[in-house]
Amino acid sequence: MTDAGRVVLATGDDPLVLEHGGHLDHVEVAYETWGELAPARDNVVFVCHALTGDAHAGGEGGWWANLVGPGRPLDTDRFHVVCANLLGGCRGTTGPSSPDPATGRPWGLDFPLLTVRDLVAVHRRLLTHLGVERLHAAIGGSLGGMQVLQWAVDDPAAIDRAVLVAASSRLSAQGIAFSAVARDAIMRDPDFQGGRYVGSGRRPDHGLAVARRMAHITYVSEGSLEAKFGRDRIADGPPTHATDFQVEAYLDHQAEVFLARFDALSYLYLTRVMDYFDPFSDAGAAARAGSGGTDFLVVSFDTDWRFPTAQSRRIHDHLAAAGARSRHVEIASPWGHDSFLLEPPGYHDVVRQHLVRHPG
């Protein structure tokens, strides 16, 4: 059973109060579910999506369709899988391009800056709306894994099993630097218009395309780009300023597909959420995350240079040192950070096994 819906989870009477002050009087959330909810409501697996994902994790064209489905690790014959578009996103959930209820115009840069805690607060409201108190599991890759970690810190009793894939508890200086270049490319695009582009007929597509092209390079390993494209050209001939190497055409294609489905303001807001994420700067966070008995699995990939294994190990080390149940598994994969969307040997098995482990 697949279901898709949109639900209002904050109103003027029940606003979403944000971590850094301010509040949102209207939050609408797009979500999808797969599999039957058990009568005891104890078989829910919540999927937290990454920076540019959306609620459509499973089913035809789902970004995690290899993981979500009948007989898959997130087995929809057994689990009720839920995925919601993030707060700040642009795929059905309220974000900076949504209308500001106070003015009726798109928020733009007047939308408040968010934190991972704010994103998780919306997930928690969604669970309440669905009548679910406790998750069989929460799972996410990259920014999705950050949400799972924050969720365990904020509501330790809510999650039986947590799976953090290719995640980080804090970006490195290099990670912040890549983010800064991407955000700069967007904000300095004249079509960005100070964030007031929605409805103007002009979007900062050039800036967003530059951001995506650059980010995509960091999502894949040097070796996988080399194996796939090397120095192959589209056609023989003298040098040209135009797209000529196949890897250039590949980046062009990635940017084109991305522009059709994503919004520059959401990109700004959600990358900034990642820049500031640093839960273990609160000395009590790891102990809180473990205090509900959550069983953590932290997965990393050996060729991931955007969120390298050392960053996953740091999550595990903090949790374990605070007495939480945690395992870290590094998977060998040629594909870099994007491995969390693919099926390198061993990855799906370790997730599958973790989701059926007995708690306690």
**Residue 30 CB burial class (10 angstroms; 0-12, 13-18, ≥19):** buried
Taking only Cα atoms into account, the Rg of the chain, rounded to an integer number of angstroms, comes to 20
Catalytic residue among 80, 136, 328, 337: 337
Minimum Å gap between C-beta 215 and a second copy is 10
What are the tokens at 313? 């190990």
Closest separation between CB of residue 20 and a second copy, Å?
A: 4
Told to judge if 142 belongs to the known catalytic residues of this protein, a careful annotator would answer yes
DSSP string across 159-217: EEEEEEES--SS--HHHHHHHHHHHHHHHTSGGGGGGT-TTTT---HHHHHHHHHHHHH
Cβ atoms 269, 88 nearer than 8 A: yes
Give the shortest CB-346-to-a second copy separation in angstroms. 26
For a second copy, the closer of residues 267 and 296 by Cβ is 267
**Can you tell me the distance from the alpha carbon of 328 to that of 312, in angstroms, rounded to the nearest whole number?**
7
Q: Which is nearer to a second copy, 43 or 218 (CB)?
A: 218
**Under DSSP, is residue 64 helix (H, G, I), strand (E, B) or coil?**
coil
How far is Cα 203 from Cα 191, in angstroms, rounded to an integer?
5
Q: Which is nearer to a second copy, 181 or 356 (CB)?
A: 181
Closer of 132 and 215 to a second copy (Cβ): 215
Print burial letters for 56-73: b (CB count within 10 Å at least 16), e (below 16). bbbeeebbbbbbbbeebb
Annotated catalytic residue, options 49, 118, 136, 142: 142
Q: Is 26 a catalytic residue?
A: no
Beta carbon of residue 121, minimum distance to a second copy (angstroms, whole number): 16
CA distances (Å), 113 to each of 199, 214, 219, 274, in order?
Answer: 22, 24, 25, 11
Pick the catalytic residue: 304, 326, 333, 338?
Answer: 304
Least CB distance from residue 154 to a second copy, whole Å? 18
Contact present, 297 and 331 (Cβ < 8 Å): no
When the beta carbons of 157 and 181 are compared against a second copy, the nearer one is: 181
- To a second copy, the closest distance from the beta carbon of 278 in angstroms equals 7
Q: Which is nearer to a second copy, 243 or 291 (CB)?
A: 243
CA dihedral 62, 64, 70, 71 (to 10 degrees): 160
Q: Which residues bind a second copy (CB under 8 A)?
A: 20-21, 109, 113, 115, 170-174, 176-178, 180-181, 183-185, 187-190, 206, 209-210, 213-214, 217, 222, 225-226, 228-231, 238-241, 243, 245, 247-248, 251, 268, 272, 275-276, 278, 305
- Identify whether 337 is a catalytic site residue: yes
Cite the active site residues. 142, 304, 337
